[in-house]
C-alpha cells in the first residue's frame, strides 16, 4: 500500500524533498545577522561598547568580573568597586536603592553616564560645546580628550572634583555613607572606539587607581532587566526550522487530501430559502394562484419580522407601535408619508379584495420599506 502511494505521488514527494532540502541549505548557508548591543555594554565589541576596557583590565590581572545578578547580591565592602554604565532613565527605584545601599556600606560605585537622570542625585547643567576636542585638567595636569557630552556636573561643598575643563566638571567624587560614588559624565572615553584616542587611556589610568580593590564588578544586570525577549528570541533555531518544515508538509498533505483554501461559498439552497429569492418565489406563486390578498399578508408579516429583529417590537404590536418604529428606522422619510403608508396598507388588507395591479404596486412599496429596515 505504501509502495503504491509512493508511485502515485512520486512527483509530489520529490517536490517536497527538494523544497525541504532548499530550506535546510538556506539555513546553513545564510550568514547570521550581526548581534546588536546596547551602548557601553561590557561584552559589546561594537564601537560604542566597553569590551576593550574590560579585557585590558583582565589582561593586566585586575580582579574584574561581569556582574549579571540582582544588585542585592553585590558583595558589600570597602575593597570592592562597581562600574555602572548608562543606567536607564526609568530604572526601578528598588534597583537604585540597592546600589545606594552598596555604596553606603563601603563600596565604590563608578556611575558613568551622559544622560540627565535624578535617580542617583546626579546634579547637572547643560552647556554649549564649541570644539569636539579640548583640554581637561586633573590636579593641575592637562590631558587632550574628546568631548561628546553636552552636560556638566554641579559639585556640592563636600564633593571632590576629579576632572574638569573650561566648561565645568566632568568627574567628581561624592562620599555616601562609608563608601564613595564617582560620577563621570563622559562614558565615550571608555568605549572601544575612543579609549585609545587622544589621552583617554592615560587619563583614566592616572585618575582612577583600581589597584586598591580586591574585586571590580562591571554591572550588566540592568541591560537584562530592560530587555524584553520574544518567543522567537528564546527558541532555538533548529526547533523553528523543524516547525516551519512540519507546517509546510502538513498543509501540503491536507491539500492532497482534497482541502482547498479560499473563501467559503454558501449553497444556493440557503439563498433561496433565506434570501431575496424566497420572496420572489412566493410572489410568483401568489400571482399565478391569484392569491393577492394572502400574498400581501405574507409580505407584511415578513416586514413585521424584520422590524422585530431591529427593534424588538413583537409581531402582534399595534399599528401605532409600528408607526413609531418606522419613524425611528426610516430617517429619510417624513412622519406624514409613513403614517399614510400604514393607513393605506391597513385599509387595503381590511378590504379583503386585492387585484393584480394593486398587489404589484403594494409589493414594490413593502419591498422598498423592508430593504430600508434591513439596512439599519
Q: How far apart are alpha carbons 210 and 191 in whole angstroms?
A: 18
> Is 40 a domain residue?
no
Residues 74 and 92 in one domain: yes
- Structural domain includes residue 205: yes
Residue 342 located in a structural domain: yes
Please report whether residue 11 resides in a domain.
yes
Where in the sequence is the domain holding 250, given as residue range(s)? 2-31+231-256
Q: 182 and 102 in one domain?
A: yes
- Residue whose grid cell is 400604514: 342
Choose the final residue of a domain: 225, 245, 279. 225
How much is the pLDDT for 297? 85
Are 25 and 80 in a shared domain? no
The reply to whether 157 falls in a domain is: yes
Query: How high is the pLDDT of residue 245?
Result: 86
One domain, residues 121 and 208: yes
Query: Same domain for 147 and 245?
Result: no
Sign of CA dihedral 160, 164, 166, 168: negative
Radius of gyration of the chain (CA): 41
Number of domains in the chain: 3
Report phi then psi at 107, rounded to 5: -80, 165
- The whole-model pTM stands at 0.52
Residue 32: its pLDDT value, please?
60
Residues 312 and 332 in one domain: yes
Are residues 201 and 246 both part of a single domain?
no
User: Is 352 inside any structural domain?
Assistant: yes
Whole-number pLDDT of residue 262: 62
Indicate whether 142 and 70 sit together in one domain: yes
* Same domain as 246, residue 217: no
215 and 94 in a common domain: yes
* 45 in any annotated domain: no
Q: For residue 264, what pLDDT is reported?
A: 62
Whether 161 maps to a domain, the answer reads yes
CATH for 218: 3.40.50
Tens-digit pLDDT string for the chain (376 aa): 555 655 666 677 777 777 777 777 766 666 665 667 778 888 888 888 899 999 989 998 999 998 888 787 777 777 899 999 988 777 777 788 888 889 888 899 999 988 777 667 778 888 876 666 778 888 778 888 888 888 889 888 888 999 988 888 999 998 888 889 999 999 999 999 999 888 888 888 888 888 889 999 998 876 654 444 455 555 677 777 788 888 888 887 887 777 666 666 666 555 555 556 666 776 677 667 677 788 788 888 888 888 888 888 887 888 888 888 888 888 788 888 888 888 888 888 888 778 888 888 888 888 888 888 888 7
Domain identity same for 326 and 191: no
Same-domain status, 308 and 335: yes
Strand partners, 81: 108, 216
Amino acid at each position: 500500500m505504501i509502495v503504491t502511494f509512493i508511485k502515485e505521488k512520486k512527483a509530489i514527494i520529490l517536490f517536497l524533498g527538494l523544497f525541504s532540502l532548499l530550506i535546510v541549505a538556506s539555513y546553513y548557508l545564510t550568514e547570521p545577522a550581526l548581534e546588536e548591543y546596547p551602548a557601553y555594554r561590557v561584552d559589546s565589541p561594537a564601537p560604542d561598547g566597553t569590551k576593550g576596557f574590560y579585557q585590558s583590565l583582565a589582561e593586566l590581572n585586575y580582579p574584574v568580573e561581569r556582574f549579571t545578578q540582582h544588585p542585592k547580591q553585590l558583595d558589600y565592602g570597602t575593597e570592592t568597586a562597581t562600574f555602572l554604565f548608562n543606567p536607564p532613565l526609568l530604572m526601578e527605584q528598588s534597583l537604585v536603592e540597592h546600589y545606594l545601599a552598596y555604596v553606603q556600606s563601603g563600596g565604590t560605585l563608578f556611575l558613568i553616564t551622559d544622560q540627565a537622570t535624578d535617580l542617583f542625585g546626579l546634579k547637572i547643567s547643560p552647556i554649549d560645546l564649541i570644539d569636539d576636542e579640548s583640554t581637561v585638567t586633573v590636579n593641575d595636569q592637562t590631558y587632550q580628550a574628546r568631548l561628546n557630552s553636552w552636560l556638566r556636573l554641579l559639585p556640592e561643598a563636600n564633593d571632590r572634583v576629579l576632572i574638569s575643563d573650561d566648561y565645568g566638571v566632568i568627574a567628581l567624587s561624592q562620599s555616601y555613607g562609608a563608601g564613595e560614588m564617582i560620577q563621570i559624565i563622559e562614558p565615550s572615553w571608555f568605549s572601544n572606539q575612543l579609549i585609545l584616542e587622544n589621552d583617554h587611556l592615560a587619563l583614566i589610568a592616572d585618575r582612577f587607581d583600581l589597584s586598591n580593590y580586591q574585586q571590580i564588578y562591571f554591572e550588566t544586570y540592568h541591560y537584562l532587566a530592560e530587555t524584553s525577549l520574544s518567543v522567537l528570541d528564546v527558541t532555538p533555531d533548529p526547533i523553528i526550522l523543524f516547525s516551519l518544515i512540519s507546517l509546510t508538509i502538513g498543509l501540503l498533505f491536507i491539500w492532497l487530501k482534497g482541502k482547498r483554501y479560499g473563501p467559503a461559498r454558501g449553497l444556493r439552497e440557503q439563498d433561496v430559502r433565506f434570501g431575496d429569492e424566497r420572496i420572489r418565489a412566493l410572489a410568483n406563486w401568489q400571482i399565478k394562484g391569484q392569491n393577492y390578498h394572502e400574498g400581501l399578508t405574507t409580505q407584511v408579516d415578513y416586514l413585521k419580522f424584520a422590524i422585530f429583529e431591529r427593534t424588538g417590537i413583537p409581531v402582534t404590536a399595534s399599528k401605532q407601535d409600528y408607526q413609531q418604529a418606522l419613524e425611528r428606522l426610516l430617517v429619510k422619510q417624513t412622519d406624514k408619508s409613513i403614517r399614510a403608508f400604514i393607513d393605506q396598507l391597513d385599509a387595503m388588507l381590511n378590504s379583503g379584495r386585492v387585484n393584480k395591479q394593486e398587489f404589484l404596486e403594494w409589493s414594490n412599496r413593502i419591498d422598498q420599506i423592508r430593504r430600508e429596515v434591513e439596512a439599519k
